[in-house]
Every structure is written in structure tokens, then in C-alpha cells.
Structure 1
Amino acid sequence: MNYADMHVRDDTYLVPVTLPYIPGNEVVGRTAEGKRFVGLTLGGGYAEQAHVHRRTAWEVPDDVSDEQAVALCLQGNSAYHLLHTVADVKSGQTVVIPAAAGGVGSIAVQLAKGIGAKVIALASTKEKRQLAEDLGADATLDSTSENLTEEIKEAASGPVQVALEMTGGPTFHAIAAALAPHGRLAVYGYASGQTTDVSTKVLMEQSISVSGFWLPSMFGDRNALPTSMKALFNAVRANSLRPVLGHVYPLHEAGAAHAALAARTHIGKLCLDTAG
């Protein structure tokens, strides 16, 4: 499960939702031949049987669990390409990562540290900030702070070169204001429900760039996702990447899982088990 499922339910997703509709964009399971695959779908995941395109499905190594594999599929790929493809993070740069205890954020913290970046992690609770610190973040900040821009700059000892953003609204503006000249902002969501207009004056004053990212835009690239999935599988197998796993709900408790996701009090990847 992920926040895209919430947007689909509310019909606030990037593409219109036509009813009837089965949510779920990431699945792990076995083929009729018994091979274990993880794959991305455009809906249809909350089901006993799901169809995936061979270009967006990958055989899971034996030493990677179902829960680890499904956490890598959408959120791991997103974190990888936000850092490598969109923001082009380099060793020594400072990166702001929001929702650092969430699915994308927790993986992005670890991948950014693997690149050699300094990571400033944002999270809304003390428990979540502690998790981000345990994952390697150099500094952790309360994402709900009214002085977020100044606190980011203080933690970074100055403006930052790269920031990821998925909240929207005032948080978007606070993070953008913390960027150094020629800084890069990679936007991949609006969890607050508020889409945000960007002032060209702000872009020009600081010569910053803002890039949007939506993982399905990568589906047509024959090399992008196989490259990132291979790197993610290898990192998990080498114990240099630890997907943060949360509760697994039986499929008939999907409503309770959505409630937990909406409350934003959970930690780790939430999954549904169709066998339950």
C-alpha cells in the first residue's frame, strides 16, 4: 500500500479514476509455474490474481522476502530515480528528505548516504525522527515546525543543494526557500492534498530548478527500472539497504489499513495479504 491508493480512493490521483476500480499498484506473488515475481500495475493489486506487464515485473531473489520485494517495487524505485535520475545527487552534497520514516523517505535516506551525501531528514514525530537517525540521517527535524526553512539551513550550516518534496502547500515553499543558488527540488507528491503554484520570481532569484517525478513515466524506458531494481535487490542482499516493514493486513481488512495510512501514525511499509 502507498499514498497513491489514498489519492485513487478520493479521485485526486494524477489520472482520472473510472469506476468500478480495484486499487493497488504493486504486487508480489507466484506465477502459475511457481516463480516468485514482484511487479508494478496501474491498479488491480488488491486482488487474488493480478496481471503485470513483463516490462514492469522482476523475479525476486530467494534471499529477498516478499515484504522487502514489494517495498522496493514502487517506493524503492521512486527513491532511486529521485536521487539518481531527477536530482543527480553527488557525494558531499546536502539533501533534504521529507517523510523520512515513510516508504520512499526511509529508502531515500539510506540510498543518499550510500552516495555520500549529507542527509537532513524531516518527520512529524520523535519516533519517526529517531528511525531516520537510525537509518543514517545526519540531522533530523520536525516537519511541522513553523521555522522549517531556518532550521534546515542551520542543520545544513547554510543552504542545501538538493531537496525532495512530497507534501505540498506551505511545506513546499519552506523547503524551496532553503535551497542554495542553483539548488534542485524534486517533487513527487502532495500528501497534504494541496497542489502548489511555483513563482517564476522565486525560481529566477535563486536560479533553482524544480522537477516533477511520477514513476509510471519511467515505464517506457527499457533500461531504467531493470537497472534500479537490480541495484535495490543487490543492496538488500548486501545488507546496505533495509526496507522498513510495517504491519501486514489481511485483504478483508483493507479499510483498516487505509485508516492507518490516513492517520500517518504508522511506521514502515503497510501490506495486504490476499491469503488472509
Structure 2
Amino acid sequence: MTRALVVRQSGGPEVMQLEDWPLASPGEGQIAIRQTAIGVNFVDTYQRSGLYAVPTPFVAGNEGAGIVTAIGGGVTLFRPGDRVVYQGQTGSYADERVLDAERVVAIPDGIDDRTAAAVMLKGLTAYFLLFKTWAIEPGQTILWHAAAGGVGQIATQWAKALGARVIGTVGSAEKMALAEQNGCDAVINYTTEDFAARVRDLTGGKGVDVVYDGVGKATFEKSLDCLRPRGLMVSFGNASGVVAIPDLTVLSRKGSLYVTRPTSTHYFASREALLEGTGALFDAVAQGAIGVAISQTFPLVEAARAHEALEARTTTGSILLLP
């Protein structure tokens, strides 16, 4: 048995309850780990609330780092005592857990467990968005919504290192300076400014090459007005609600635009793709292209407080739970 935050019915943060949860021995191709740090992400809130359907009961969370305690049959990638990190496998809000070894990677020397847990899911999201969904080239201009958030801080730093001109939006005056520190050439407070008009001013009326939007419903429609003809709208999150496009002709009217709704599952379906992404990510961290900010930590038992802070959108950087 292990301590875990269990969701037995969809709802608010309070539905996560601390329980003793069965912990099996690792089977063929699996490893057991004792977790040292657990990342908190918006996808965790989507699953808990029922926006993303997960069969109940389940242990919340999708990202963590820890130490291998046992290996199952056929495992040659790891051995007990190795430090590892993972993302995209539901069940991370627990002291210990069992994972498929193929979906886990070693934490490089020089990167501590908390940094690894804080950057893995968010950093891989930034990686596939910047390198695969739209391969950023020097001189291109991008718009990144929620630039002071966990993914935003990582992505804007990385995009700047790749030579892009980065325009960021934030939801408060306090977050503007933080976004500037993390690579944004210009920052817009979208609660007080018309961000589409401001983007047009900043680009001389041309618009940006690509918009990266994890906010969702509140920013989607105006984001289309920020794009140059044949630009790409990347909608990758629903922090303010789910996006719907009832009339696709809006894309033709606004410049023969492209829209995509990517998810990491399809970008990291193979271990080779996972290792490519994590290799690039940890190299960027080691070289200083990406600084990882951990803004808050909570004990594992206070996961509900962490969700409340995240959903209130009062946080910056990454949030961790500590077993």
C-alpha cells in the first residue's frame, strides 16, 4: 500500500482524498519508484473535474521524479537506486508507484529531482510546440498567451534562444516584469488592453507567424486576429474553458489560417521520440537556455490547495507536491 490522492468522483479540488492505495510489485517491463517530487499541471485539474474523462477511481497527477526501488522482469534500462522522471502517466500523486520502464527517463547528473519534476511535462510541451508543431526559425514572431505561467516561462525562454521575436500576454500587472525576464520582447496585459490591436501595432499590421494559446475560450477568437495570412493558431489548453469553432469559414475570412489542437500523447508515442525530446530539454536546462522557476511547493496531503492556486491563475512558474 502507498499513500495517494484518490479521485472517486469528478468535481472540485476537495474530491481528491488521501487514501491507502494498493501498490503492486513491478511486472514485466515495469519499475517501482519512491517519489521525491511531483509536478502539478492543468491537465491534472481537467482529469479531476471530469473535463478529460478518466475512469474512477484513479490516483490524480501525471508527472513526477523519484528513485527506482525495484525492477520487473526484462527491465534493462534501469536498476534500483537510479534517479528517474516521467510525465503523461496518470497516478503521480502518491508516495510510491509502478510505471512502464519504457515511459521513464533517467535524470541527468547536474539536474536535481525537483527541477526534473518541475520541467518534464511543461518542458516537453514547450519542446513539441516549438520544434514539431511549428518549427521556430530565427526572425519569426510568435505570440504566447499566459507567458508567466509554468509552460509559458519555459517556452518563451526557449523561443528567444531559438531566435524568435516573442510577444507574451499575461493576466496581471505583476506578471508583466516576470514575462520580460523570461524572454518576451513585448508583454501585453490582456485584462486591460486589447491584445489583438496591440499585436497589430507591434508587428506593423502584419500579424504574427504563430499563436500559442493554453488559455482557451477567453483568448481564442481574438488570437485569430493576431495572425498573419496563413499563420498557425496552436490551441493547446483550456484554462478558461473549451474552444469551439462553429463556423470554419472564419479561418478563410481572417487569412486562410491554420488551427491545430495538439497533445503530447501523439508526439511522444515512441520511446525514441521521448528520448529526443527529453534530450533536447535537459540540454537546454544544462546550458542555461531555460531556467526553471519553482514558485510554490505543497506537501502531498495538500494537493487540493495546489489545485486551488493553479485554477485561480494566481501562480507563476511550476508547482510541486512533496511526498
Q: TM-score by structure 2 length?
A: 0.81
Post-superposition shift, 1:104? Answer: 1.0
- Report if the CA contact (8 A) 1:89-1:162 is conserved: no
My pick for the range that moved more, 104-113 or 167-176, is 167-176
The answer on 1:153 being equivalent to 2:200 is yes
Looking at structure 2, the residues matched to 153 and 134 of structure 1 have their Cα atoms a distance apart, in angstroms, of 23
Looking at structure 2, the residues matched to 266 and 221 of structure 1 have their Cα atoms a distance apart, in angstroms, of 32
The answer on 1:17 being equivalent to 2:67 is no
Residue 126 (structure 1) aligned to one of 161, 173, 178: 173
Q: TM-score by structure 1 length?
A: 0.94
User: 1:108-187 alignment to 2 at 5 Å?
Assistant: 108-145=155-192, 147-158=194-205, 159-187=207-235
Question: Can you give the 5+ residue segments of structure 2 that lack an aligned partner in the other structure?
Answer: 1-39, 70-79
Aligned length: 272
RMSD: 1.4
User: 1:20-59 alignment to 2 at 5 Å?
Assistant: 20-32=57-69, 33-59=80-106
Post-superposition shift, 1:196? Answer: 2.0
Q: Which runs of 4+ in 1 moved over 3 A?
A: none
Looking at structure 2, the residues matched to 117 and 228 of structure 1 have their Cα atoms a distance apart, in angstroms, of 20
The answer on 1:270 being equivalent to 2:309 is no
User: 1:185-264 alignment to 2 at 5 Å?
Assistant: 185-197=233-245, 199-205=247-253, 206-264=255-313
Higher helix share: 1
My pick for the range that moved more, 211-220 or 179-188, is 211-220
Post-superposition shift, 1:20? Answer: 0.8
- Report if the CA contact (8 A) 1:56-1:219 is conserved: no
SS of the residue corresponding to residue 229 of structure 1 reads helix
Post-superposition shift, 1:113? Answer: 0.5
SS of the residue corresponding to residue 169 of structure 1 reads coil
Looking at structure 2, the residues matched to 154 and 26 of structure 1 have their Cα atoms a distance apart, in angstroms, of 39
**In the TM superposition, what whole-angstrom CA distance separates every residue of 1:72-129 from its partner, at most 9, and x where no partner exists?**
2111000111111002221101000111111111111011111100000111112212
Looking at structure 1, the residues matched to 229 and 236 of structure 2 have their Cα atoms a distance apart, in angstroms, of 21
Question: Can you give the 5+ residue segments of structure 1 that lack an aligned partner in the other structure?
Answer: none
Post-superposition shift, 1:170? Answer: 4.0
Q: Look up the match of 2:43.
A: 4
Higher strand share: 2
My pick for the range that moved more, 71-80 or 190-199, is 190-199
SS of the residue corresponding to residue 259 of structure 1 reads helix
Q: Look up the match of 2:117.
A: 70
Post-superposition shift, 1:198? Answer: 5.6
Q: Percent identity?
A: 35
